[in-house]
Structure 1
């Protein structure tokens, strides 16, 4: 298994925001790349700290030595927290904007 594997969700871990690497905010943000190659920025939360943003996309992720693996995607909030518990995931990632957002 590697960072390109995803059990249920066609997303590839595209790493952290390079400008924040090594700083205190580095672990708080992550890129995911979709099937079309577009990168999307997500905020990273512990499952019990993930906010209930209306209309936000949540990705439930497991951490591996090779990177994060997306195992569920859907609405932020209770559904995401339940999925994180069901899949024993360490993180919930919440989409904040895409590369081409203005």
Structure 2
């Protein structure tokens, strides 16, 4: 079932590539987010963006684990349910 859905989405994507949209050009203006002055400038900006993204992901994971831990401690204040403590994590 999942393979059928993925196949349909792939076929639609491929058909959009093979036969592009026939509507006219838009009146909008394309604004590029970066203005590079050379290859080293592009590499350094790309590296900076990648490192910033990496640390943002790490920070979000730390916050998520902390929130789950805080929630488990809060749920630990309640009495046990059917002989098991109430937690977000099964078997923890």
TM range (shorter): under 0.3
Structure with bigger helix share is: 2
Instruction: Name which one, 1 or 2, has greater alpha-carbon Rg.
Output: 2
Higher relative contact order (CA 8 A, sep 6+): 1
Normalising by structure 2, report the TM-score.
0.21
Structure with bigger strand share is: 1
